[in-house]
């Protein structure tokens, strides 16, 4: 499979899909330093990352509740790939002591401004953390961008306290659209995305990084819908997701009704399909 001039191949040993050859570290650093990545480049990055905060809020709140429940309350947290620091800010308000790492210097500066008053810190590399240890480390839609994922996961695990938890999210390449309509699957977008995970390949990678109690949690169901419904609702979905449209009750009711009908039809027509667009995974550093 070829996307944007890059070959996507499958590992014969573990079945992971990945970009080959991998862009150099210098090429990737330049790619993420572009101002357009977070504001304007919808094909490779984001049309406007700031406008996504309304859509991200319920996911971030749910994830913070999950971490606090598993770790018996807030503690110290590192968000790797923290972007503009929205999750860090929410975590700080929830009682966490927060630190972020963000490759983009522009976004790292924004993140630092959001959390500095509460004692939060943001760096542009893992090396700047020194020997710091954390109760929780998060990577939201980050692992698929990493050119050296095992090396990075091992480095992150070294910053976890024994019994600490790593929690991440990534697109689910087992999703029916990635399998049956790959040209339409937004997850296939190198060089931004270099790795394409399914539940087994993600679980295997976390276990290989010497993390234990690995749990894979598929979230965000999106069943296949008739093409005319997809076309009719694409604009509404986009505007609701980025916060540019208000979620009027009628449209939300209509969209939820259509989704439920689509899920029912999908279960009958394609019972073997995976309908979840996103994988969340948790893992623990052994004592």
Look at residue 236 in the predicted model and tell me its pLDDT. Answer: 65
What pTM was estimated for this model as a whole?
A: 0.86
Distances (CA, A) of 109 to 32, 106, 189: 14, 5, 26
Is the per-residue pLDDT at 47 higher than 80?
no
**Is residue 147 within 8 Å of residue 28, measured between CB atoms?**
yes
Domain boundaries, the chain: 2-222+274-284, 227-269
CATH number of 2-222+274-284: 3.40.50.150
Cα distance between residue 4 and residue 67, in whole Å:
37
Is the per-residue pLDDT at 237 higher than 80?
no
Q: Which residues of 196-211 are buried (b: 16+ CB within 10 A; e: fewer)?
A: bbbbebbbbbbeebeb
Cα distance between residue 89 and residue 93, in whole Å:
6
Q: 115 Cβ partners below 8 Å, 6+ apart? A: 85, 88, 89, 92, 98, 100, 121, 122
- Read off the pLDDT of each residue in 156-185 and give the average, rounded to a whole number: 95
User: Both tokens of residue 98?
Assistant: 């927060």
Look at residue 152 in the predicted model and tell me its pLDDT. Answer: 97
Look at residue 129 in the predicted model and tell me its pLDDT. Answer: 97
Is the per-residue pLDDT at 275 higher than 70?
yes
- Read off the pLDDT of each residue in 258-271 and give the average, rounded to a whole number: 70
Residue 207 CA to its chain's centroid (Å): 19
Residue 12 burial (C-beta neighbours within 10 Å; 0-12, 13-18, 19+)? exposed
**Secondary element (H or E) of residue 59:** helix 53-70
Look at residue 232 in the predicted model and tell me its pLDDT. Answer: 61
């Amino acid at each position: 499979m070829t996307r944007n001039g890059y070959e996507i191949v499958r590992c014969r040993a573990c079945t992971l899909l990945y970009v080959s050859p991998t862009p150099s570290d210098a090429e990737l650093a330049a790619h993420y330093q572009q101002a357009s990545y977070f504001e304007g480049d919808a094909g490779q990055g984001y049309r406007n990352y700031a406008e996504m905060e309304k859509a991200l809020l319920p996911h971030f709140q749910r994830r913070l509740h999950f971490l606090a429940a598993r770790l018996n309350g807030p503690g110290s947290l590192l968000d790797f790939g923290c972007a503009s620091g929205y999750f860090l800010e929410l975590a700080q308000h929830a009682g966490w002591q927060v630190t972020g790492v963000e490759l983009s210097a522009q976004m790292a500066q924004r993140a630092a401004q959001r959390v500095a008053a509460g004692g939060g810190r943001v760096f542009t590399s893992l090396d700047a953390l020194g020997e710091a240890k954390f109760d929780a480390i998060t990577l939201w839609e980050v692992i698929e961008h990493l050119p050296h994922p095992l090396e990075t996961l091992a480095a992150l695990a070294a910053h976890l306290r024994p019994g600490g938890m790593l929690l991440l999210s990534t697109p689910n390449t087992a999703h029916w659209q990635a399998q049956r309509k790959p040209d339409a699957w937004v997850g296939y977008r190198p060089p931004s995305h270099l790795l394409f995970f399914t539940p087994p390949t993600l679980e295997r990678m976390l276990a290989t990084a010497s993390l234990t109690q690995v749990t894979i949690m598929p979230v965000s169901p999106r069943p296949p819908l008739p093409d005319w419904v997809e076309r009719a609702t694409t604009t509404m979905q986009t505007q609701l997701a980025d916060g540019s449209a208000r979620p009027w009750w009628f449209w939300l009711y209509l969209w939820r009704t259509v989704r439920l009908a689509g899920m029912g039809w999908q279960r009958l027509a394609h019972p073997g399909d995976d309908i979840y667009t996103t994988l969340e995974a948790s893992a623990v550093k052994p004592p």
